[in-house]
Chain A
């Protein structure tokens, strides 16, 4: 089992979903010739029992007791609902016009204060589209293209409002080290060196603000001493000792959360030198980073491994041009061989296909050296672990959310269909896809 170094346990998992399912649901039973659990053995002729949105039992068909009045669904293959570890769906929409494009704010290169929760459209058609292939959870948010474009969130691919869908708000801040975040003319950043200088400056400002806040909260004893020793009422003392609050600064507060390990810094970096810069930044500020896209990752295996960094790998079918010109279909298998934690992403696409389906991307990796098991893990339990939501989703285990994807054959094969999608124990799609 592979974990990132200093993997954070996400303690701020929202319980937003639980309220929606307070009323008892009809139990749902899934029976499949093959149940891929993603963490344990694949079960031949398996049964998964879903009660009140959670997996109540799992095992061989016949050995698991089925609740009364349960609805029964049957398929060839059942596996955990997939997780897209890096998407912009819901902020970036199907029409690709101003009306449905909220993934990138270009008024300033550094805007970590922008929250995905204020922009995510849970009813976006692209979200429904990827769900119909079995994607049940997405880590989505601001896109690559600005030095620091904004925050991300984790949601289920359901819900009429973000509140219904939300798993984690503000999971990471998205940054980009690439030509894409450079500006032309006299605007900054105009070079790779300037990009790093601006990021470092921002983190130092956040450190200084944090120090100021800490100092106010814990004033030094010398400052507390009363020079003239005159008698004061308790109330007066309180009044005098209460420090002026430090002025709020949304931008630096967001960065402070990265410094405090409460958010990850997701850094889109394809070129080897940008990957090296990302690692340097992580080491300087002792922050948790995720390497996003990372087309040159296959050239940087020892460095990534040594830094203990997770990779949110570009879609296998991302175009091999521009900064991704060195990308390889073999990268996933090389990361796996080096035991570097990684997940395969749907990513951001500026034109077409407007959204990518991680199932298809993992399949291409599976035909290029990645084992079938590892390919499934790269879109289920691996992204769950990277995102820190592995106690809730990513595998078929008792106690986890009942999120399943059903297929009429090998899920990775081109001509197989997704025949059912279940989220929180409810069937959300039966369209044959």
Chain B
């Protein structure tokens, strides 16, 4: 939170020179400019069915949230509720951690362009439209964290970014407001790679699988040599190689600072990803993994987690023809860490829980499937110390549901992000995003602090 405030303060400073900057950013200044919390709010939900994910479900449970963090959780009788706390009776409702999508394209994000197949220095962060209604629809599905990725049309399509859906009463206006930052204030994200048919094409794109792997190896070897020069320079500027954003990004991947999120479908393509990951030592999450079930043991042996997609039918392209609802079960039973993803807009974030439910339909362990929507995803983004379970000290990101998340009849009532309500089904605006209708697909209206558009009466 502190880093976010610092950032927002600097953002305010950065634009204050513009004619309207001060009024536009007044909201941020008032809510975030003060370093001391404006008011300590404590809220406790009691009598709920809680799914902490890192522990067994708790019926008749209480969860206490203070300053955006989870302060206590347990059976209602065992949780001391601080004096002055707002108490919400959640009888009949279920509360689970905010859902984490390890693979989303909301925000119309793009990174690499058509000029070549390997562009690791390009950041998706520089192209996200925060007003995309998809963010509000994702909240309606109980999602709180997204890994926003560039597409799969390149071998390396750029840097991904991890985002929190901080869509409170006033929606974010710039991408910086939704970024997740490390303790130094830098945005965190991964690196998107792909193999198989999507990333093949006419020259300079590879035409075969062999060429695809070769091109990737060639670049990582270059990056290794680049890094060796940097190390050899030992801080001597005259000896440093010219900065290369692409190679820097690959170095970060090899140093474990940037997790590789690798699109892959066919069993042999999966094995290629494992081979390259081992050669260059980058930490990899396998994404989609349609044929993961055919090489589940090999994936488990390589200790490589899988973020899988669940689609209503196989096919649509040759390499996805053997996709099956059973993938999650087979991988989990082989000992592979499994998370789900929406690939939004491939599947609709509002129905993300359905992906886990269909995996359970095909025999996947229920608890593992729910973890696949939450904690497993957090681990795959390297964020499990902050999110993914209802655990004391973690961010207060959670969804309040009418019932079991694996039932078609269950609805998300509220979604909370860092202790603030970001979705409320009882509000007509939010209901629109949950159910669809006119304007549900339009960009979110900008929040205008101190004046309304002319057709609504102008300045206030």
The residue on B at minimum CB distance from A327 is B436
Given contacts A320-B441, A326-B437, contact A354 B361 (CB under 8 A): no
Cα separation A306 to B3 with both chains bound (whole Å):
60
Contact of B407 among A327, A360, A414 (CB under 8 A): A414
Contact A354 B441 (CB under 8 A): no
Shortest distance between the CB of B99 and any CB in chain A (Å): 16
Contact of A414 among B316, B406, B411, B442 (CB under 8 A): B406
Contact of A126 among B315, B360, B438 (CB under 8 A): B315
Contact A352 B441 (CB under 8 A): no
Number of B residues, CB within 8 Å of A: 34
Number of A-B contacts (CB under 8 A): 112
Cα separation A414 to B354 with both chains bound (whole Å):
7
Contact A298 B437 (CB under 8 A): yes
Q: Which residues of B contact A156 (CB under 8 A)?
A: none
Q: Which residues of B contact A329 (CB under 8 A)?
A: 435-436
Cα separation A321 to B317 with both chains bound (whole Å):
21
- Confirm or deny: A199 has a beta carbon within 8 angstroms of a beta carbon on chain B: no
- Confirm or deny: A357 has a beta carbon within 8 angstroms of a beta carbon on chain B: yes
Contact A317 B406 (CB under 8 A): no
Contact of B314 among A354, A414, A415 (CB under 8 A): A354
- Confirm or deny: A201 has a beta carbon within 8 angstroms of a beta carbon on chain B: no
Q: Which residues of A contact B315 (CB under 8 A)?
A: 93-96, 125-126, 352-355
Given contacts A352-B316, A415-B360, contact A328 B311 (CB under 8 A): no
Shortest distance between the CB of B80 and any CB in chain A (Å): 37
Contact of A326 among B313, B351, B409, B441 (CB under 8 A): B441
Q: Which residues of A contact B318 (CB under 8 A)?
A: 95-97
Contact A367 B409 (CB under 8 A): yes
Which residues of A in the span 314-339 have a Cβ within 8 Å of any Cβ on B? 317, 319-321, 325-330
- Confirm or deny: A178 has a beta carbon within 8 angstroms of a beta carbon on chain B: no
**0/1 interface trace, chain A 326-369, chain B, CB 8 Å (1 if under):** 11111000000000000000000101111111001001101110
Cα separation A317 to B354 with both chains bound (whole Å):
11
Contact B408 A364 (CB under 8 A): yes
- Confirm or deny: B29 has a beta carbon within 8 angstroms of a beta carbon on chain A: no
Shortest distance between the CB of A322 and any CB in chain B (Å): 9
Contact A328 B312 (CB under 8 A): no
Contact A414 B408 (CB under 8 A): yes
Contact A415 B313 (CB under 8 A): no
Given contacts A413-B408, A417-B361, contact A299 B316 (CB under 8 A): no
Q: Which residues of A contact B360 (CB under 8 A)?
A: 414-415
Cα separation A415 to B315 with both chains bound (whole Å):
22
- Confirm or deny: A129 has a beta carbon within 8 angstroms of a beta carbon on chain B: yes
Cα separation A330 to B438 with both chains bound (whole Å):
12
- Confirm or deny: B345 has a beta carbon within 8 angstroms of a beta carbon on chain A: yes
Contact B313 A321 (CB under 8 A): no
Given contacts A320-B441, A414-B361, contact A330 B313 (CB under 8 A): no
Given contacts A317-B351, A325-B442, A414-B361, contact A96 B345 (CB under 8 A): no
Cα separation A328 to B441 with both chains bound (whole Å):
10
Cα separation A126 to B438 with both chains bound (whole Å):
33
Given contacts A95-B321, A319-B345, A414-B357, contact A129 B407 (CB under 8 A): no
Shortest distance between the CB of A33 and any CB in chain B (Å): 20
Cα separation A355 to B442 with both chains bound (whole Å):
27
**0/1 interface trace, chain A 96-131, chain B, CB 8 Å (1 if under):** 110000000000000000000000000001100110
Contact A328 B348 (CB under 8 A): no
Q: Which residues of A contact B407 (CB under 8 A)?
A: 413-415
Given contacts A325-B440, A329-B435, A329-B436, contact A129 B314 (CB under 8 A): yes
Given contacts A95-B318, A97-B318, contact A320 B312 (CB under 8 A): no
Interface of A toward B, CB cutoff 8 Å: 93-97, 125-126, 129-130, 298-299, 317, 319-321, 325-330, 349, 351-357, 360, 363-364, 366-368, 412-417
Given contacts A356-B312, A413-B409, A417-B361, 12 further A-B contacts (CB under 8 A): A94-B315, A126-B313, A129-B313, A321-B345, A325-B441, A328-B435, A329-B435, A330-B435, A352-B313, A354-B314, A414-B406, A416-B361
Going nearest first, the 5 A-B pairs with the smallest beta carbon separation are A325-B441, A94-B315, A352-B316, A414-B357, A328-B436
